[in-house]
Structure 1
Amino acid sequence: MTAEVVPDAGHWYRVESGGAASTVRRAAERLGGQLGIGDNRIAELAIVAAELTSNLVKHAQEGVLLLRPVRSFDAAGVELVAIDSGPGMADLTVSSRDGHSTTGTLGIGLGAITRQASWYDAWSRPGLGTVFVVQVWPQPAVVVPAWAAGLTRPITGEQVSGDGHAVRVAEGRHQVLVCDGLGHGPLANAATEAAIAAFRGAPAAPPAAVVQHLHRAMSHTRGAALSVAELDPAAGVLRYAGLGNIAGTVLGPDGTRRGLVSLPGIAGHQRPVVREYDYPFPSGATLVMQSDGVVDRWRVEDHPGLTGRSPLVIAATLLRDAGVRRDDACVLVARTPA
C-alpha cells in the first residue's frame, strides 16, 4: 500500500455521553461498509470506535472525535481522531497495556484499539489532555505514516468549512496547500474546493507558478487566501508562496521557530503579486501552516515531545489548543519526506 494518504473532510462529533458514543460507532460501521473494508475489519473498526468514544465519555473534558475516510491510490480505510482536554496520561505505553485502569474497569480499552488498528499514534501529558489517531484499513495492510497531514474544523453552527488543505507529489515535487475561502459556509467552501481541485491538477511547477494557476482557476469563486509550500529534501530547502493570511512556520530541529512570508492578496480576484521565498529546511525540521482561525500564539515547548509524533497528531493538538470556535480553522503539518 502506498504511503500517500489523501483524506476527505469527514465529520466531527462531540462525545459527552453514551448516546453519542453509539452514534459514532454506527457511523464508523456505515463508513467501513461504504468503503468496502470487509466484514471482519468492520467488526474490528466497531471495537476501535467503541473504545475511543468510551474513553472520551469516561475520562475526557470537551471530548471530540473526527471520523473520515482515508484513501491511497489502491485502497480506502477509516480514520478516527479522538481529541480531549482531560487529565492526560504520563505514559501511554503503560496505559495501553491490558489490565491498566484508572477507573476500576478491566482496563482493556487502549490495548484493544492498538491491536485492531492498521496504524495509530498518540500524544498525551498530565494536565494537557490526549490526542489519539487510528487508521483501520482492509487486511493485509502495511501503512506508513504520511509525511504531511492536516485537519479542518468549521465555525460553530456550520456544517462545512471554508478552510481546507491538500497534499500532492507531482513529478517528484512534494507540495502542500492550505486555503481559507472568504467568509464562511457553502460559498467559502466552494472557493476552497475549487482551489483544492486546481491544486491537484496543476502542472508540476514551483509554488509561485502553482499559486498563479490557482488564482486563474478560482476566478468564478468569491476568492480565498492560500499558500503553497514545497519540501525539497535533496536541497534541504522549503519553497513557499502565499497570498493573504495563511501563516507558515518552520520549526527547526534545534528548537528555533521561523515565520514564512505571505503577500497581501486574494486568489481569484484582482491581479495579485506572487513571489516565492526559499528557507532552510534541514532533516528533522517541521512545517506548520494554519488559517487565521488558529491563533499564532502557540508554543511548541508547551507540548513536551509533540514534535516527535506524526504530522497528524501535531496538527490535531495545535487545532485543539489554538483553534477558535468563531471561525473556520485549519492546521497542516509536514516533514521532510522519507
Structure 2
Amino acid sequence: MNIGGTLTRVLPIEDSSQIGHARRTAQQLAEQHGFDATDAGRVALVVTELASNILKHAARGELHLRVLPRAVGAGIEILAIDRAGGFDVQTCLTDGFSTRGTQGIGLGAMSRQADVFDVHADSRGTVLLTRFYPRNDKAPDRRVGISQHSLHDDPACGDVFHLAFDGASISALVIDGLGHGEEAERGARAGEQTYALTPFASPVLLLEDIHRAMIGSRGGALAIAQFDGDSLKFVGIGNIGACLIAPDKSRGLASHPGIVGGQYRKAQPFDYAHVNGQLLIMYSDGLQSRWNLQDYPGLVHRHPAVIAAILHRDFCRGRDDVTVLVVALEAAHG
C-alpha cells in the first residue's frame, strides 16, 4: 500500500455564504471517490456543522480537506481549525448543550456520524478532526496525519511526501526541493518516483538511487524513516526535521549536511530501538523547529492528524512550502 503526496485543500470559513460552498465541495469530493448518496450525505451534514461552529465560536477559521487512499477506494478527512479561545469539549459533546442558544446537537451528532472523531481545544484555538469511510470499508483507520501546503497556494509544491505500508512495517519519505514552484517540484517528484519503486530497500541504497534520479534538477533535502514494528532506521540529508516523541520524552533524529541530486558525503543510517508506541514527526523547513508538544497538554495522545494540523497552524513560517507528517508507530498498524 503506497500513499503519494498531495496538497491539503484549504477552505476559508469567514462568512455564512461559505458554508454552502464547503458543503458542496466536500460532498462532491466524497462522490468522486466512491461514496454512495448516504455516505456522501454524512460528509455534507458534518461539514455544514463544522463550518457553522467555526462562525459561531471563532468568527473565522478554515476547513482542511484531504483524500485518504485505501487498499480499495478512499476515505475523506475534514479538519476544522480556528484560533478562538477554545471551549469545554466534553460539555459541548453533550446533546442539548449550547453556548449560543441553538439546539446544541452539533458536536455530539458529528462524533456519531464520523468514523473517526478527535479534537484538541485550548486557549490558542480548536482543531477538530472527522474522517469518513464508505460503509463497506471495514479496514482500520491509519493513524497518520499529513498537512501539506504550497507557498501562496501555488499549484506546484516543492515538498513531496510518500508513505508505504507492508503489514506492520512503515516507510516514510519527505523531500524538500530547493526553492519552490515547478522546478522544485520536478526534482522532488523524480526522487519520490524512484523511492516508490522499492520503499523498503536499504535506506542508503534508496538514497543513492534517489540522488541519481534528482541529478540535473535543483536537488533538495531528504529524509527516509523505516519502521519494522519495533525499531526505526533513519537517514537524512539536509534540513528535513525529524523526531521521535513519547509521552514523557522526545529526541531529534540526526541528518547529514548536503544536497540530494547535488553533493553530499556518504550518509550512514541511524538506528533507534524499541520505538513502538511513539510518534514519528517529519517536517520540511517551511515549519519552524522551535516547537514542543509538551506545551500542549494532552496533545501527544490525540490523533496524528490533529497534531499535524496544530503544528502547521502555530508554526508555519509562511515563506516556503510546508509539509508536516505525523505517524503513530504501532506494531499492529497494518
1:276 and 2:269 are equivalent in the alignment: yes
| Paired AA for residue 45 in structure 1 | V
Q: Percent identity?
A: 35
Matches within 5 A, 1:142-221: 142=138, 144-170=140-166, 173-202=169-198, 204-221=200-217
Among candidates 106, 111, 114, match of residue 108 of structure 2: 111
1:123 and 2:117 are equivalent in the alignment: no
RMSD (Å) for aligned C-alpha atoms: 2.2
CA contact (8 A) 1:6 1:70 kept: no
TM-score with structure 2 setting the length: 0.91
1:38 matched residue in structure 2: 36
After superposition, what is the alpha-carbon deviation per residue over 1:247-294, rounded to whole angstroms, capped at 9, x for unaligned? 1112234x2221111111222223552221112343332221111111
2:233 matched residue in structure 1: 239
Distance in 1 separating the partners of 2:62 and 2:36: 27
2:18 matched residue in structure 1: 20
Matches within 5 A, 1:225-236: 225-234=221-230
| Paired AA for residue 264 in structure 1 | P
Matches within 5 A, 1:248-267: 248-253=242-247, 255-267=248-260
Look up the SS of the partner of 1:210 in the other structure.
Answer: helix
Size of the aligned set, in residue pairs, is: 331
Look up the SS of the partner of 2:65 in the other structure.
Answer: strand
Look up the SS of the partner of 1:156 in the other structure.
Answer: helix
Structure 2: state its 5+ residue gaps.
none
CA contact (8 A) 2:34 2:73 kept: no
TM-score with structure 1 setting the length: 0.90
Look up the SS of the partner of 2:100 in the other structure.
Answer: coil
> Do the aligned partners of residues 194 and 110 (structure 1) sit closer, same or farther apart at CA in structure 2, a change above 3 Å counting?
farther
CA contact (8 A) 1:160 1:186 kept: yes
Among candidates 220, 227, 241, match of residue 224 of structure 1: 220
Distance in 1 separating the partners of 2:144 and 2:112: 25
Deviates more, 1:36-45 or 1:268-277: 268-277
Distance in 1 separating the partners of 2:278 and 2:167: 23
Look up the SS of the partner of 1:57 in the other structure.
Answer: helix
Distance in 2 separating the partners of 1:47 and 1:220: 49
> Do the aligned partners of residues 7 and 219 (structure 1) sit closer, same or farther apart at CA in structure 2, a change above 3 Å counting?
closer
CA contact (8 A) 2:8 2:149 kept: no
> Do the aligned partners of residues 47 and 143 (structure 1) sit closer, same or farther apart at CA in structure 2, a change above 3 Å counting?
farther
4+ residue stretches of structure 1 with deviation over 6 A?
4-7
2:304 matched residue in structure 1: 311
